[in-house]
Chains A and B, each alone.
Chain A
């Protein structure tokens, strides 16, 4: 095992892997990526794979649009087909409040150059006749949104980083970080020590614990989110469909399977990811109401992962003021997969050049919580 590295990244999810890739691409290859289990074993490998640019906060829209550029070029740039598909996102508005919010958001998103449009109930029904859209007010539809395979995205970044010289260590658990006078010295793992000056916390659901290793109390906590996949059907559903008030999202994968999930307001913070019957039951009662053809479709596998939540449901991308060269990309609040390319890129630039260059992430600083903040509304 390598015992010295310029940068040590904690976490082999999509964020850690993307960061490793962009570090190497910017010439910094003396990097170790630590993953306690296998690559994509955390939230990444459990997520829905949706890639959306329709956000209520302007900066999030920009960050997501930057990521989409990378997803589009992924196969050419990184060298792996990640089943990226731009089938759009369809957001359903059922209340007057939602209607007003969608109109405001779409106007802002269009200002940013996003190809999003509002569809009336009739237009939506015409476009998606197989859905039951009773009670719908309107929908927001963005054709350039889409989805990709999260495992393959992570593998793609990690393999490409490895080829450039990054050391990817799976089944290696970061246990402690030794700090002297506010400077990082060593990362202690269960398989040996790594002398290092720079640490990136990309520990996903465990970001708070990774912060504690250097004595920081990062404001993130994790919540269980469940999801399941059905047997494959013929392809009919292009966009990923979300309803915030009815609390669901659903998409069809490249192989034809339907993946869907919901949030659970009763969840308490914690690291438990055992799936429950309650979820399966609620989803089975609910989903065929909106998608009648699902009734006789069979569910194959059901699992859960962690949403790492920040106080305003937006990621925290920053470096510590107290511990020198301790960076973190955490608290993705259920949308870290789609943001990973732009975040990895920005973070790598910060480390290599002293500042993020390709996109402005100043609104995602840790300090924002001292100033007061607005919560991202477009989350399931």
Chain B
């Protein structure tokens, strides 16, 4: 099969579902996956899944994978090749490296479904290159696929769903989890996951981070510290923990390199995990023949990955055969939309909106309260007070009577922008810190005023991280000005890109250890990067060439985003305004010999 109708890159839930839809309609499909066995993240998951009943909720991840594979095996014109990596998407074909025979073969498929999932974000701290420091994904693979324990006692960094679940799995396997560190003041993952871990007696240390891994040849301890509200280490709170493994679970970022190489446009959307391929609701990228589905199109969940895979598959059928089951396609789209309409998906929704993908509106009354569209460009308060609570300082504080709560103090405030003068008094008075000042500017940026009650108050011109509703870093921003208030609620005004203006709700300044490595392949430190920036290398590509950062075998998978964040922090240019640089093929290193040898994939 040199020219399959569909080549699926990645055999996770998204890729498998796409393949099933295409195969059902008789298309010839080749699925390639890097792993030893197909199933993607699913095969690592020994816990029961949440989500939609129709999409295998409350089944364990590994069992879902089994069901999908069984369904796929019904179709004889499908080939599933494991231990096979896609090297690149060239205009003259898609070379696939078969690791078992160390040889390559070129395919020219009519359509391509990129379902390569995500890779882990990396964290900077001293000695982060010591053996014994792992990403959460690696730990899961070792344990659940190969039955190898990473160590005897583990320090987990990150309390998102992944950090919580992997901690639980480690405990189940008899490994002691000493603690879970979380830099912010609340647990990132679902409550239920957290409760499960807490019941096991694993402490979750909020406002804590790791400073350093201790050890000569491998990890035998860690230095940790408490953080203040601005994520700065609190002096005197450092302490050592005796552990032999550090597991990093600070989030995932889409593995979109192959889409970029194929010429597809990427966009930086922090809510979706980083650089995401632009795509429409049919999952088609900006390149006609290339589709995406699953985590690569934005970090989400297995359920949505499966639905997206099916949507992509049906559209591929339509492209090739001229028609597909439209009713089913519509149903799938509706299911996806309904799935995302819940309160926990608000981040995903705002991410998708940045790609111009319409999502079901969040269920709170906004338009009426704000009607901000009409007053574009005017400095005005945005009131995010949607719950019926007995409260009205906004109404009483406004010097011109622009805000009305009305007779029933439980009603939500309504503002008349035509009367508002933009003085900002209401924002300093609101006890819920629910009022933000906002103004669109002509240069595509927006001014956001944030009520801020921490010390020290940042200074004008200072560069800070602007964070969103759940504390996620959205961009870096410069402080435009600070208006002080007698009641200690100061308003810090920031300039941020307009598309982020509606999401920036807090600020913090992180501390990055200067001597820690940012690029592990080329051993480049944060300090070196900062120095080069001061010397005038303010473009990612220039930095890359000057320092060789992200020139190593990993192709910049781990260090690209981190370098961009530092660049942004130092120059004040938001990450999304920086060019992420080019992503060059091949996606993984490949030998001359392997390219010279040709072998078609035949095994299942």
Contacts of A41 in B (CB 8 A): 541
Contacts of B589 in A (CB 8 A): 231, 298-300
User: In the complex the two chains form, is B591's CB within 8 Å of A303's CB?
Assistant: no
CB A117 to nearest CB in B, in angstroms, measures 31
User: In the complex the two chains form, is B592's CB within 8 Å of A287's CB?
Assistant: yes
B79-136 interface (Cβ within 8 A of A): 88, 90-93, 95, 106
Contacts of A297 in B (CB 8 A): 591-592
Query: Which residue of B is nearest A291, CB measured?
Result: B592
Of the stretches A20-28, A132-140, A275-283, the one at the interface is A275-283
Of the stretches B230-238, B431-439, B479-487, B542-550, the one at the interface is B542-550
CA distance A111 to B536 in the complex (A): 44
A155 within 8 A of B: yes
B55 within 8 A of A: no
Whether A299 contacts B586 in the complex (CB less than 8 A), given A38-B542, A39-B542, comes out as: yes
User: In the complex the two chains form, is B542's CB within 8 Å of A299's CB?
Assistant: no
User: In the complex the two chains form, is B95's CB within 8 Å of A277's CB?
Assistant: yes
Query: Which residue of A is nearest B597, CB measured?
Result: A284
User: In the complex the two chains form, is B93's CB within 8 Å of A277's CB?
Assistant: yes
Contacts of A37 in B (CB 8 A): 541
Option from A283, A288, A301 in Cβ contact (under 8 Å) with B584: A301
Task: Work out how many contacts link A and B, with CB atoms closer than 8 A.
Answer: 97
Count how many chain A residues have C-beta atoms less than 8 Å from C-beta atoms of the other chain: 37
Contacts of A283 in B (CB 8 A): 592
Whether A298 contacts B90 in the complex (CB less than 8 A), given A38-B542, A152-B546, comes out as: no
Contacts of A97 in B (CB 8 A): none
User: In the complex the two chains form, is A38's CB within 8 Å of B539's CB?
Assistant: yes
Contacts of A255 in B (CB 8 A): 548
B590 within 8 A of A: yes
- Name the prevailing secondary structure of the B interface residues: loop
B174 within 8 A of A: no
User: In the complex the two chains form, is B585's CB within 8 Å of A301's CB?
Assistant: yes
Option from B92, B263, B590 in Cβ contact (under 8 Å) with A299: B590
B553 within 8 A of A: yes
Query: Which residue of A is nearest B539, CB measured?
Result: A38
CA distance A287 to B592 in the complex (A): 8
CA distance A299 to B548 in the complex (A): 17
Whether A296 contacts B591 in the complex (CB less than 8 A), given A151-B546, A231-B553, A255-B548, comes out as: yes
Contacts of A151 in B (CB 8 A): 542, 545-546
User: In the complex the two chains form, is A281's CB within 8 Å of B553's CB?
Assistant: no
User: In the complex the two chains form, is B592's CB within 8 Å of A288's CB?
Assistant: yes
A4 within 8 A of B: no
Contacts of A288 in B (CB 8 A): 592-593, 596
B595 within 8 A of A: yes
B555 within 8 A of A: yes
Whether A303 contacts B90 in the complex (CB less than 8 A), given A41-B541, A294-B592, comes out as: no
Option from A159, A281, A302 in Cβ contact (under 8 Å) with B586: A302
CA distance A297 to B95 in the complex (A): 18
CB A161 to nearest CB in B, in angstroms, measures 12
Option from A162, A299, A303 in Cβ contact (under 8 Å) with B595: A299
Contacts of A45 in B (CB 8 A): 541, 545
Most chain B beta carbons < 10 A, residue from A37, A285, A297, A302: A302
Query: Which residue of A is nearest B106, CB measured?
Result: A277
CA distance A33 to B566 in the complex (A): 27
B537 within 8 A of A: yes
CB B433 to nearest CB in A, in angstroms, measures 38
CB A296 to nearest CB in B, in angstroms, measures 5
Option from A152, A277, A284 in Cβ contact (under 8 Å) with B592: A284
Question: What class of interface size applies to chain B in its complex with A?
Answer: 20 to 34
A321 within 8 A of B: no
Most chain B beta carbons < 10 A, residue from A38, A276, A277, A288: A277
CA distance A302 to B91 in the complex (A): 14
Query: Which residue of A is nearest B583, CB measured?
Result: A301
Contacts of A280 in B (CB 8 A): 95, 586, 595
Query: Which residue of A is nearest B537, CB measured?
Result: A155
Contacts of A299 in B (CB 8 A): 586, 589-592, 595
CA distance A283 to B263 in the complex (A): 24
Query: Which residue of A is nearest B262, CB measured?
Result: A274
CB A109 to nearest CB in B, in angstroms, measures 33
Option from B90, B586, B593 in Cβ contact (under 8 Å) with A296: B593
A349-378 interface (Cβ within 8 A of B): none
CA distance A231 to B522 in the complex (A): 12
CA distance A302 to B536 in the complex (A): 27
A40 within 8 A of B: yes
Option from B263, B541, B579, B595 in Cβ contact (under 8 Å) with A284: B595
CB B348 to nearest CB in A, in angstroms, measures 32
Contacts of B88 in A (CB 8 A): 275, 277, 302
A191 within 8 A of B: no
CB B352 to nearest CB in A, in angstroms, measures 29
B551-568 interface (Cβ within 8 A of A): 551-553, 555
User: In the complex the two chains form, is B541's CB within 8 Å of A303's CB?
Assistant: no
A223-278 interface (Cβ within 8 A of B): 231, 255, 274-278
A295 within 8 A of B: yes
User: In the complex the two chains form, is B553's CB within 8 Å of A300's CB?
Assistant: yes
Query: Which residue of A is nearest B585, CB measured?
Result: A302
CB A285 to nearest CB in B, in angstroms, measures 5
A32-86 interface (Cβ within 8 A of B): 37-41, 45
CB B148 to nearest CB in A, in angstroms, measures 26
User: In the complex the two chains form, is A302's CB within 8 Å of B591's CB?
Assistant: no
Q: What per-residue 1/0 map shows which CB atoms of B515-539 lie under 8 Å from chain A?
A: 0000000000000000000011101
Contacts of A298 in B (CB 8 A): 553, 589-591
CA distance A296 to B590 in the complex (A): 9
A110 within 8 A of B: no
Whether A155 contacts B585 in the complex (CB less than 8 A), given A276-B92, A294-B592, A295-B593, comes out as: no
A3 within 8 A of B: no
Whether A277 contacts B92 in the complex (CB less than 8 A), given A255-B548, A288-B596, comes out as: yes
Most chain A beta carbons < 10 A, residue from B536, B579, B585, B589: B585
Query: Which residue of A is nearest B556, CB measured?
Result: A301
CA distance A301 to B90 in the complex (A): 13
Query: Which residue of B is nearest A299, CB measured?
Result: B590
A95 within 8 A of B: no
Contacts of A171 in B (CB 8 A): 539
Contacts of B548 in A (CB 8 A): 255
A120 within 8 A of B: no
Please, could you name 7 A-B residue pairs with CB atoms under 8 Å apart, sorted by A? A274-B91, A275-B88, A275-B584, A275-B585, A288-B593, A299-B586, A302-B586
Interface residues of B (CB under 8 A from A): 88, 90-93, 95, 106, 263, 535-537, 539, 541-542, 545-546, 548, 551-553, 555, 579, 582, 584-586, 589-593, 595-596
Taking A231-B553, A299-B590 as given, write out 4 further A-B residue pairs in contact, using a Cβ cutoff of 8 Å, ordered by the A residue number: A38-B539, A39-B542, A159-B536, A302-B584
The 5 A-B residue pairs with the shortest CB-CB distance, nearest first, are A284-B595, A151-B545, A298-B589, A38-B539, A277-B90
